[in-house]
Structure 1
């Protein structure tokens, strides 16, 4: 990311933490820590660019929120631990968030909410009345409804993150993931995202499944 986007992200982080009265030194120090986490090797999609997009999508959906600061904090931490060879990334990300936010003296009630939101990103499911989770999940999955060119870039970046997986196994696993989304009654939870993004997301998922099915191994 360029310096301009880093500055925008810092402003996001600063704005959210100032809501809780965190001082400027701690805001800057923890931002540096998060930037380092999202710049670790092996990330091609789950990067600061992704966090930037998720935060922007949350802004678009903020009218639905019940606890906007908690949703924004969860966005920052939901992929802070990301290892494609592990199956506990969400749990570790929630633990990371707890430790860092405790050090910033964020109220434990807020930390508990942030952790719940993060954990719900594991299966991209939430209780029917969990509006804030719905917003985070929709913001996280907004990429599925991107224009076809950007969607192809996303799909390629995911493949890069799983470069250690053999092609035949990747195709099988990826198709299963995509088909699970298509089997849902709704991919998106919020009325706005369902209205503007549901059809595009389903078209993109079906197109990727078709491309994967046509690949010669």
Structure 2
């Protein structure tokens, strides 16, 4: 995939032996066999949307780098993947890009834990909107995404997963603005909210109204 090829990476982090090694390690992490949704296809999709929305960002290259790292650490059994991904970004980018940009990448990766970018956070808006774009897909594409997420949490019982997924969906539906950028919000938000509400209704029916089991899934996009 061109969007995750070395040329795309080198445009951000340079062409050096260290950069080539880091690119290979990042792609290796994204290709771990336990990933069913948070895989190289998701990375490419987010990078593609970031590219489309880049004019809205204050630092498009920082957003692109944050996309590369936003799920670089992904273990469904843990709840600190965003923090660990942010630290992986800080370590991996040291010496490849200016320190100020590294810290912005770290901040952006951490922001994907809640996808609640502030009103003046242009970089955060672009990254979060790109990461959550999957929620606004056609119903069949959304169903495939939800099914893939369930596969990633195969270690949880149906009751545990249902409770956790309900919490994720309620959080997303509770956001004041699901998408921040006006150029996408008008089209994407109604579709996303319809998809989320439909899944939530199905899961609540499955749970019989009980949603207090611990160990919820954390990732939405």
TM exceeding 0.5: yes
Distance change in 2, residues 1:178/1:25 (3 Å)? same
How far did 1:203 drift?
0.6
Partner of 1:148: 139
5 Å-filtered alignment, 1:25-36, equals: 25-36=17-28
Q: TM-score, normalised by structure 2?
A: 0.88
Structure 1 unaligned residues grouped into runs of 5+: none
For 1:103 and 1:158, the matched residues in 2 are separated by: 35
Change in 2 beyond 3 A, CA 1:84/1:14: same
Instruction: Using the TM superposition, give the Cα deviation of residue 168 of structure 1 relative to its aligned residue in structure 2, in angstroms.
Output: 1.2
- Is 1:90 equivalent to 2:82 in the alignment? yes
Residue among 4, 21, 25 paired with 1:9 = 4
- Structure 1 counterpart SS, 2:94: helix
**1:121 and 2:108 matched:** no
Paired position in structure 1 for 2:128: 137
Aligned-pair Cα RMSD in Å: 1.6
Q: 1-side partners of 2:3 and 2:180: how far apart? A: 27
- Map 1:1-217 to 2 at 5 A: 5=1, 7-10=2-5, 11-17=7-13, 22-104=14-96, 106-215=97-206
Flag the 1:216–1:180 CA change in 2: closer, same or farther, 3 A. Answer: closer
Unpaired segments ≥5 residues, structure 2: 209-221
User: Quick check: 2:163–2:207 contact (8 Å CA) kept in 1?
Assistant: no
